[in-house]
DNA sequence: CGCTTACGAGTAAGCGCTTACGCATGTTAA
DNA sequence: TTAACATGCGTAAGCGCTTACTCGTAAGCG
């Protein structure tokens, strides 16, 4: 009942284990006959090589680790589903796609709020590279990891240690959105619902929004702080309507969940979106498409982030210097109804429109295995 | 720049590698002083044990593999997002949670439609057990795998080989739903939108629905076949309204996506849900909550499936015989508006209700590490 | 004071694989 | 015919770790 080893196979095929190894790994210097004999024996025995032993001997595990933050189980389900979990899932899907393409495996580790980063540390000893998503571990931990292992920090601010940062173009996306609101819709008074100060993404978005608004001759007439959750968006909406106050004509939320919170409260209060107040989000989570009205937002290519991270690590692990310390993926404006844009017909139309919105999943540059791309805002190239 | 090995550590601490190993693994028979010295040296060196070597020597990898089907990239995004992908993500989250609890790692493999199951096969050599989700691999492949490795088949029909099946109580959930429609709402004429014949889940649901309807004195007045996608639901809706025909008073869809497809088309045709036609789904995907009207459905505890699978494998890998060849998790009726139930107020109310719907994430029986539970329909115990 | 025990730590034998090296053959060229 | 080389395969040395076994030392006992 013990799994057959290379010795069993060698005996069965009547050759040495070295020959078996060469046959299985398609190395040169073997006669066709011997190779066939070994492969046949392997088939008969149902032999599967022990990857652990292979990794030890070969000196590489051909495995990429991915570290994501896992929220504690006690948040409300709505928040839990919407929040970074889904983002993390998409990243994992993308990473898995790339890993599969290069024949690597993906090892998963979730970091719980108070569990510390031991799980991430342990991955150093069993992977060829590590993806750290968002702020799953502290900056110090990231520095420690990146000093002794190839590390890609995903959706991080910018590289501080030896890690390579793969992120989206927050500034560019925010600019697109603001230009849409100010230039195309003519809104001059914009409100902003920020994220927590600890989130670099949100901070970049916020600062950019302010700057671009000024540049375009609009002004920020109000600013509220949320924590990225739907309920914090609801609280913000209540604060801005306290005592019968009227919210700004247009409100930009730094993520979709908070925007959904606004929609909830405005619907309850009878404030019409977009006719009374235009609302926008950021990220294009699934719910943005199903919100009523459909949420105008900026798409984050979460799967591509994961795929790109794996490509980068592959380069790093195989000795190629990464093309850049920082890889920036472009974002895309997704226009739905919540900003005031006409959406002809009912939801079906929206669905159709959405389908068009989605780019072909295979990016052209992903055809070349293992190559990462440096792409900037709205198509402009950007690297540091 | 080479990672420090146990030899480096031993030298630094002035002891043998055996002592280092004992210190790091908290084995008995070491003086406090020596242990402390080793740990201090480890800290200084930033030593991380090589799990590959450890696994080889120890004879177990403390890793669980999870094999999920990954749809090809060319499906429409709506279908892709809703379909098994999200289910797979939830399963992975649950599995990760359990794995983390027992100190195991999770290795991910996606099986693409035409890539074959080599990826799954290779996992045998690097894990202590395998979770195969849904129908990621063929029955023959599953048999092959389960013959030489601990395997849990998730959401599978019933065990055929040596694998343990972990699934939800499809029959029980369907019964709850049918009882709700017939007994509480008094609908006597029910339509059914089935899934593909190849999906055992859908088949069980369909047969149960027919049987229960008869038992309760209702009748099935129409049956349409879809493929689980939203667009197939839309097609079904068009077929049932062809030539001005009127759909059945109540329609039970074998999953949520198809139900959403019905909602789309009915909205377009001006058929009111639930006033003209009641519609129900199955699975309780996220979108069910955001559909208009909110979709009455049956919740699949996807995360718990993953968590339970890991618990089972842990038992199997550590030599405990699994409690049962088949573990069935209970389902839960989620009542929203699409069946005709009153939902007071607007969406906020729905959200609140939903929050209540969700059980505390920690199941009581999950407190005992590594123990799997056998729970049946609606709380009744069931095992085979 | 001599003997048994218990304790702490070292020695060495693997775990299953890859690969550098070496050694027979068979093949070619002078 | 023989040197020179390619070809095909076996031998053996690790990869970094765990652990069964061994052994020196100090404590406990009559």
Q: Is the CB of B30 under 7 A from strand C?
A: yes
Q: Which residue is nearest to nucleotide D10 (CA to C1')?
A: A16
Burial class (CB in 10 A: 0-12, 13-18, 19+), A344: exposed
Q: Which of A264-273, B117-126, B246-255, B285-294 comes out lowest in average pLDDT? A: B285-294
Nearest chain B residue to A43 by CA: give it.
B144
Identify the residue with better confidence: B70 or A184.
A184
Rg of chain A over Cα atoms, rounded to whole angstroms, equals 25
With residue A133 as reference, give the H or E element that holds it.
strand A129-133
Residue A165 CA and nucleotide D15 C1' are separated, in Å, by 32
Nucleic strand C contacts from chain A, 51-70, CB < 7 Å: 53-54, 56-58
Task: Please give the torsion angle defined by the CA atoms of residues B13, B17, B20 and B25, in that order, rounded to the nearest 10 degrees.
Answer: 170
Mean pLDDT of B371-378: 28
Report how far residue B293's alpha carbon sits from residue A335's, in angstroms, rounded to the nearest whole number.
Answer: 24
Q: Is the CB of B367 under 7 A from strand C?
A: no
Parallel/antiparallel/unpaired status of strands B297-299 and B332-334: antiparallel
Nearest to A61 among B48, B52, B289 (CB): B52
Identify the residue with better confidence: B324 or B53.
B53
Mean pLDDT of B46-64: 96
Per-residue model confidence (pLDDT) at position A113: 79
Report how far residue A133's alpha carbon sits from residue A166's, in angstroms, rounded to the nearest whole number.
Answer: 10
Report how far residue A263's alpha carbon sits from residue A279's, in angstroms, rounded to the nearest whole number.
Answer: 8
Q: How far is B119 from chain A (nearest CA, A)?
A: 8
DSSP string of B51-97, one letter each residue: HHHHHHHHT---EEEEEEE---TTS-HHHHHHTHHHHHHHHHHHHHH
With residue B190 as reference, give the H or E element that holds it.
strand B189-194
- Chain D nucleotides close to protein (CB under 7 A) are 7-12, 14-20
Mean pLDDT of B19-48: 93
Mean pLDDT of A246-268: 94
Q: How far is A195 from chain B (nearest CA, A)?
A: 22
Q: Is the CB of B45 under 7 A from strand C?
A: no
pLDDT at B176 over 50: yes
pLDDT in tens, A38-76: 999 999 999 999 999 999 999 999 999 999 988 654 444
Residue A29 CA and nucleotide D4 C1' are separated, in Å, by 20
Q: A46 in the Ramachandran plot: left (φ > 0), alpha (ψ -120 to 50) or beta?
A: left
Report how far residue B69's alpha carbon sits from residue B49's, in angstroms, rounded to the nearest whole number.
Answer: 33
pLDDT band at A342 (very low <50, low <70, confident <90, very high): confident
Per DSSP, A292 falls in state S
With residue B201 as reference, give the H or E element that holds it.
helix B200-215
Nearest chain B residue to A124 by CA: give it.
B48
Pick from B164, B162, B156, B165: which is nearest to B138 by CA?
B156
Pick from B358, B231, B228: which is nearest to B301 by CA?
B358
pLDDT band at A85 (very low <50, low <70, confident <90, very high): low
Identify the residue with better confidence: B130 or A80.
B130
pLDDT in tens, A163-187: 999 999 999 999 999 999 999 999 9
Strand-pairing partners, residue B189, are B219
pLDDT at B214 over 60: yes
Report how far residue B64's alpha carbon sits from residue B317's, in angstroms, rounded to the nearest whole number.
Answer: 10
pTM score of the predicted model? 0.84
Say whether B275 sits in a helix, a strand or coil.
Answer: coil
- Mean pLDDT, chain B, integer: 84
Say whether B156 sits in a helix, a strand or coil.
Answer: coil
Nearest chain B residue to A290 by CA: give it.
B290
With beta carbons less than 8 A apart as the criterion, state whether B214 and B241 touch.
no
Domain spans of chain A, in order of start: 6-49
With beta carbons less than 8 A apart as the criterion, state whether B79 and B147 touch.
no
pLDDT in tens, A279-338: 999 988 878 887 889 999 999 898 999 999 999 999 998 877 777 899 999 999 999 999
Say whether B106 sits in a helix, a strand or coil.
Answer: strand
- Chain A residues whose CB is inside 8 A of the B48 CB are 121-122, 124-125, 148
Alpha helices (H) in B104-138, listed in sequence order: 118-123
| CA angle centred on A339, ends A333 and A342, rounded to 5° | 95
Residue A313 CA and nucleotide C12 C1' are separated, in Å, by 38
Strand-pairing partners, residue B299, are B283, B332
Q: Which of A25-34, A221-230, A369-378 comes out lowest in average pLDDT? A: A369-378
Identify the residue with better confidence: A103 or B368.
A103
CA distances from A176 to A140, A282, A297, A329, B50 (A): 34, 11, 10, 15, 47
Mean pLDDT of A201-215: 92
Pick from B138, B109, B142: which is nearest to B123 by CA?
B109
Per DSSP, A181 falls in state I
CA distances from A79 to A136, A175, A197, B94, B283 (A): 18, 27, 19, 17, 19
pLDDT band at B348 (very low <50, low <70, confident <90, very high): very low
Q: Taking the alpha carbons of A214, A220, A226, A232 in that order, is the dihedral positive or negative? A: negative
CA distances from A90 to A36, A133, A286, A312, B177 (A): 42, 11, 11, 18, 32
CB count in 10 Å sphere of residue B345: 10
CA distances from B41 to A309, B17, B48, B176 (A): 33, 13, 12, 61
B265-280: burial string, b at 16+ Cβ within 10 Å, e else? bbbbeebebbeebbbb
pLDDT at B358 over 90: no
CB contact under 8 A, A63 and B100: no
- Chain B residues whose CB is inside 8 A of the A125 CB are 3, 48-52, 54
Q: Which of A193-207, A221-235, A337-351, B298-312 comes out lowest in average pLDDT? A: A337-351
- Mean pLDDT, chain A, integer: 84
CB contact under 8 A, B264 and A46: no
With beta carbons less than 8 A apart as the criterion, state whether B255 and B281 touch.
yes
Report how far residue B193's alpha carbon sits from residue B57's, in angstroms, rounded to the nearest whole number.
Answer: 54
pLDDT in tens, B132-166: 998 889 999 999 999 999 999 998 888 998 999 99
- Chain C nucleotides close to protein (CB under 7 A) are 7-12, 14-20
Rg of chain B over Cα atoms, rounded to whole angstroms, equals 25
CB contact under 8 A, B56 and A51: no
Residue A35 CA and nucleotide D7 C1' are separated, in Å, by 15
Report how far residue A122's alpha carbon sits from residue A137's, in angstroms, rounded to the nearest whole number.
Answer: 13
Q: Is the CB of B16 under 7 A from strand C?
A: yes
Footprint of strand D on the protein (CB under 7 A): A 14-19, 29-31, 33-35, 53, 56-57, 59, 125; B 2, 5-7, 17-18, 20-22, 24-25, 27, 49-50, 53-54, 56-58
| CA angle centred on B21, ends B20 and B24, rounded to 5° | 85
Among the four given CATH numbers 1.20.140.10, 3.90.79.10, 1.10.10.10, 1.10.260.40, the one describing domain A6-49: 1.10.260.40
Judged by C1' against the alpha carbon of B19, the nearest nucleotide is: C9
Report how far residue B330's alpha carbon sits from residue B375's, in angstroms, rounded to the nearest whole number.
Answer: 6
Strand-pairing partners, residue A283, are A299
Distance linking the first and last C-alpha atoms of chain A = 56
Nearest chain B residue to A270 by CA: give it.
B346
Nearest to A109 among B53, B105, B362 (CB): B105
Pick from B80, B75, B109, B72: which is nearest to B92 by CA?
B109
With beta carbons less than 8 A apart as the criterion, state whether B19 and B38 touch.
yes
CB contact under 8 A, B77 and A358: yes
Q: Which of A208-222, A367-381, B157-171 comes out lowest in average pLDDT? A: A367-381
Q: Tell which of B3, B70, B77, B85 to mutate to test the A interface (max A CBs under 10 Å).
A: B77
């Amino acid at each position: 009942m013990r799994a057959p080893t290379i010795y069993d196979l060698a005996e069965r095929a009547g050759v040495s284990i070295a020959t078996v190894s060469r046959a299985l790994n398609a190395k040169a210097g073997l006669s066709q006959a011997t190779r066939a004999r070994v492969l046949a024996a392997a088939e008969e025995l149902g032999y599967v090589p022990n990857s652990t032993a292979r990794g030890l001997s070969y000196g590489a595990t051909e495995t990429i680790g991915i570290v994501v933050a896992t929220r504690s189980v006690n948040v409300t389900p709505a928040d839990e589903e919407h929040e970074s979990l889904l983002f993390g899932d998409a990243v994992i899907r993308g990473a898995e796609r790339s890993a599969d393409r290069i024949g690597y495996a993906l090892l998963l580790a979730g970091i719980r709020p108070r569990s510390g980063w031991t799980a991430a540390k342990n991955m150093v000893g069993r992977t060829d590279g590590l993806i750290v998503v968002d702020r799953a571990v502290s900056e110090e931990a990231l520095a420690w990891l990146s000093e002794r292992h190839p590390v890609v920090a995903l959706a991080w601010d910018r590289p501080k240690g030896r890690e390579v940062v793969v992120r989206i173009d927050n500034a560019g996306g925010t600019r697109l959105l603001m230009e849409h609101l100010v230039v195309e819709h003519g809104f001059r008074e914009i409100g902003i619902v920020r994220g927590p100060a600890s989130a670099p993404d949100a901070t970049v978005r916020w600062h950019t929004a302010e700057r671009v608004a000024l540049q375009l001759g609009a002004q920020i007439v109000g600013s509220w702080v949320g924590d990225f959750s739907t309920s914090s968006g609801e609280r913000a909406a209540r604060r801005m309507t306290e005592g019968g106050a009227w919210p700004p004509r247009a409100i930009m939320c730094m993520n979709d969940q908070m925007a959904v919170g606004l929609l909830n409260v405005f619907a309850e209060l009878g404030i019409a979106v977009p006719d009374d107040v235009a609302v926008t989000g950021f990220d294009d989570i699934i719910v943005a498409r199903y919100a009523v009205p459909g949420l105008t937002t900026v798409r984050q290519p979460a799967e591509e982030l994961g795929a790109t991270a794996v490509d980068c690590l592959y380069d790093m692990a195989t000795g190629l210097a990464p093309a850049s310390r920082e890889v920036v993926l472009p974002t895309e404006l997704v226009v739905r109804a919540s900003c005031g844009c006409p959406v002809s017909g009912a939801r079906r139309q929206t669905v159709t429109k959405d389908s068009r919105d989605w780019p072909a999943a295979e990016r052209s540059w992903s055809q070349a295995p293992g190559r990462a791309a440096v792409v900037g805002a709205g198509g402009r190239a950007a690297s540091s």
